[in-house]
Structure 1
Amino acid sequence: MKLGAFSVSLNVKDISVSKAFYEDLGFQTLGGDITQNWLILKNENTVIGLFQGMFENNILTFNPGWNQNAENLESFTDIREIQKQLKEKGITMLSEADESTEGPAHFIIEDPDGNQILVDQHR
């Protein structure tokens, strides 16, 4: 099962302070909009998202259709197929992608320890 690009989405208290901290660790801005309280930062192959006031906990994030530079992949497994495979394995969905649609969609699952996993397809 190919889940796409991986990142950790961090719930931060002050996005400017967090941005400066991660820049000190060698991360550079890859995308986002600090005026909207979200940024995507990258250091080599490691991608993190900083999100202020958008969700309560840190989230593991996968993006089908993207590589680690947020560039479109030629071929990828559609999120609805990934969701179907997970449901067949008995994994409970906290939120589901509408299987009657195409294109952008997302679903959320939770691991056995309560860590949320967002699978978010942008195209």
Structure 2
Amino acid sequence: MGAFSLSLAVKDIAKSLAFYRKLGFREIGGKIEDKWLILSNSETVIGLFQDMFEKNVLTFTPGWDKDGKDVDPFEDIRAIQKRLKDEGIAIDTETDPDGTGPAHVMLTDPDGNPILIDQHR
């Protein structure tokens, strides 16, 4: 399903960035002025998102590795969506099954945790 990260719903992105830098995280994507950043610390990737999500979100990014670099081959979001639906998993936000390129789907696990599958290519 692609690279995994935890997308954190933060109240103050500057404070959160300062905190996670002290833990050894470095910026690998995003723009603080747009109120979102992607941070990495070795194998761990987190996103900081201010005013974008109500809850923390489990995020998978098909086509990317943990450093945001392209990987090939990869399973396209539409194939993932079909596979999940075939398994009986409800999709909250679907993507056009006939589309191409960037797209996303949202689902919720049995405990109410949101899951975003977010393809950027």
Query: Is the TM-score greater than 0.5?
Result: yes
2:56 aligns with: 58
Residue 32 (structure 2) pairs with residue 34 (structure 1): yes
1:72 aligns with: 70
Percent of pairs with identical residues: 58
Please report how far the alpha carbon of residue 74 of structure 1 lies from its aligned counterpart in structure 2 after TM superposition: 1.8
SS in structure 1 opposite 2:92? strand
2:83 aligns with: 85
Residue 92 (structure 2) pairs with residue 94 (structure 1): yes
Amino acid at match of 2:117: V
**Alignment equivalent of 1:107, drawn from 105, 108, 117:** 105
TM-score of the pair, normalised by structure 1 = 0.97
TM-score of the pair, normalised by structure 2 = 0.99
Amino acid at match of 1:17: K
2:12 aligns with: 14
CA distance in 1, matches of 2:110, 2:103: 24
Please report how far the alpha carbon of residue 81 of structure 1 lies from its aligned counterpart in structure 2 after TM superposition: 0.5
List aligned pairs for 1:42-53, cutoff 5 A.
42-53=40-51
1:5 aligns with: 3
Runs of 4+ in structure 1 off by over 4 angstroms are none
SS in structure 1 opposite 2:55? coil
